Structure 1
Amino acid sequence: MGNVYETEISGRTLSVESGRWAKQAGGAAVVRYGDSVVLVTACVTENPRPGIDFLPLVVDYVEKTFAVGKIPGGFFKREGRLSEYEVLTSRLIDRPIRPLFPKGFYNEIQVIATVLSADKENDTGILAMIGASAALTISEIPFQGPIAGARVGRLDGELVINPRIPDLERSDLDIFVAGSRDAILMVEGEANEVPEEEVLDAILFAHRSLVPVLEIQERMAGEIGKEKRAFEKKVLPEEDVKKIAEIARGALSDAYAIQAKQDRRKRIEETAEAVRSAFPEEERAEKAALIADAFKSLEKKIVRGKITRERKRIDGRGLSDVRPISCEVGILPRTHGSAVFTRGETQVLVTATLGTSQDEQRIDSLLGDTTKAFMLHYNFPPFSVGEVKMLRAPARREVGHGALAERAVTKVLPQGADFPYTVRVVSEVLESNG
């Protein structure tokens, strides 16, 4: 028997267990709420991945159809690539935990949340979030948690933490909040045009509800947690930092006054190359990530200085200046609807297609077979930023951005018998100044 920690949330017992399953993982937690059960594991590589300057964290939320007593459809009868919902839940977990790893920690980290049982009443995404934090907290991975997550709805005018999934249909807001004891780390949700102050009340209500779950994890860390891996961020010697500043400060200041993005990027890359060339070849290879870190830090100082001292942003705009905005409609002759929206160097071509109820998207999930009458698909091709890449299936970012816009637009569309049609909107990014 493993170590079990329990608390009450909205009249139901939430338990987190560790030490019985997946013992070879760096950290593992089994979270139960009602009859929903999620196993979450966290593992880390021994050494940093060479040649990178970002945190190589991967979060995968995986639903098993056996969790609801189903056999997968299709010819092969087994789970395949992640569904859109699994991708969105993976991103939901990733966002609040990613900032809590030490800056400069470049070891690969993988968090896998596997849904083992789903009762169709208790949201397994919430359990996966809690389990991810618990697994990281008791592992040797340097993680500045714990955190917890909660979903808040409003039923008959009363705020409810982790409402049962069937009850969400009559809730006028649905917000997921993740946070620590001291801060809110992430908010994602939708509402039926609820006033801002009421949304804020719901967010703070959800944040207060996290305390019992955080206390569980703090007890776990003290009683069964592994000793954290020692980590000290490597930094360049002060003389090298000064050397980079001497070479790059003036050039970067000039570069960030250039309005055109591609011209600005070219000048910045030329400056970065000048900095790299100032170090002997052997030293350059050994300190590549540290040199890149110091260069980025200098960039941030310069941009921040322009804002605070000169009251100007990257492209020379004032703090309240808006990029030039234009919108054209009806530009494609055979589409049902089309528009091009341009703001500065960001441009999006959007089309709308109207169909019948037979065109609805069929979704096979753990909650059963459902349909969707409104879809918004977002595509970010490489040419939009002047790059060359293989065209593949939509990346997680594209799925996430499309879902974000879809949730907003859905709430202002007519529903049901008032509008018995299917609508597909496709957003093609033609330029991006991000």
Structure 2
Amino acid sequence: IRPVSCSVGVLPRVHGSSVFTRGETQAMCTITLGTSSDEQLVDGLIEEYTQKFMLHYNFPSYSVGEVRPIRGPGRREIGHGALAERSLLAVLPAVDQFPYTVRLISDILESNGSSSMATACGGCLALMDAGVPITKMVAGISIGLVKEGDKSVLLTDIMGEEDHFGDMDFKVVGTRDGITAIQLDIKIEGIDHDIIRQTLHRAKEARLNILETMAKTLPEPRKEISKFAPRLLTIKIDPEKIGKIIGPGGKNIKALQADTGAQVDIEDDGTVYISSVDGMAAEKCRDIIEAMTAEVKVGKIYTGRVVSIKDFGAFVEIAPETDGLCHVSELSDKYVDRVDDVVQMGDEVKVKVLLIDDQGRIKLSRKAAMQELGESDPEPVNAGPREGDGGHDRYRGDRGGDRGGHGGDRGGHRGPRREGSRSGGGDRGGRGGDRGPRRD
């Protein structure tokens, strides 16, 4: 194997980078992390599909000392990139573990054979430098063959001339435990099983040797992604509540994105991707969405905001787009004459959910919440004591006229109490006049 050297973090501004050199072949790999909106849309043979991992391989003319116009990718670039992409795809984490869209670009700086294998090795290091939690490290090698009659010689890590004059180019990529991709190019009629067996054995030895060198540079993926990469959070919601987040004409989601500065993408299955350059903005957006889609539970105490006041009670918003009625009788443990004696528009109050009816209407109680929290209201200013509190001046409401207090003017002069009479008050009517003295 030609001398191998590698380094990571060579471009500090990108999300991950590496340079892998083997002999006179060198590849610089860079990683860009994106969101679900950055997925590549592929127009497939049958239907369209998206890719979350893309590897773009560039082979500029200067890498082989030539000067020619730089045009779009050709057959060679597409083929080499597809092989390296297949090699790394096997060790990428699941989407629920790492929801980022990953783009890997390999720029071949110089080439003298096996640039696609250099891309696989350098791409693995760049992924690890970017903090992508790959399951295992990957390395690749090319095995060549020169065959004359019954004689054959295997060549490990072939250069450009050996590839040109040789009879085989067998590329093998894998981890310490197995193979992730192979590609075989031959110029002869065929090879027997013994040659294939020897090739795979040699490739494994070379692969383990390269992996050991790579591990000295970066033994495992970084724990944190680059500070320049977007922060991406994922939550799962009830698909039936997607419309609640989006709102009429996208009103809610537009306001949410404008307020937090985060980008929100929602899948049909209820998976919500929240991305932002600022991690705090993404967390704030996540908290709002969780509050909007949270299931209101009976018996739970919420801190809500008064959004409407009626004669019969107050409507309190306990979650975004979710409010309930706190009846006047449930506002306080004291007598309440008017709702606005206790709460005002915009006040934050603690309420307990008493009931959710079959139509989804929520019944709230501030009184029950205060009792559970051990709190109490002072006596309302504009109301007397409640009926049943005791005392002579208990409030009875309007009974149609001034009745006065006990012992006061009750409407007419009563006159002096008769001697022997049970009670004074003049002719009361309907009693038959003077009853006479009491019997002994």
Q: Taking structure 2 as the reference length, what is the TM-score of the superposition?
A: 0.47
Larger Rg computed on CA atoms? 2
TM-score (norm 1): 0.47
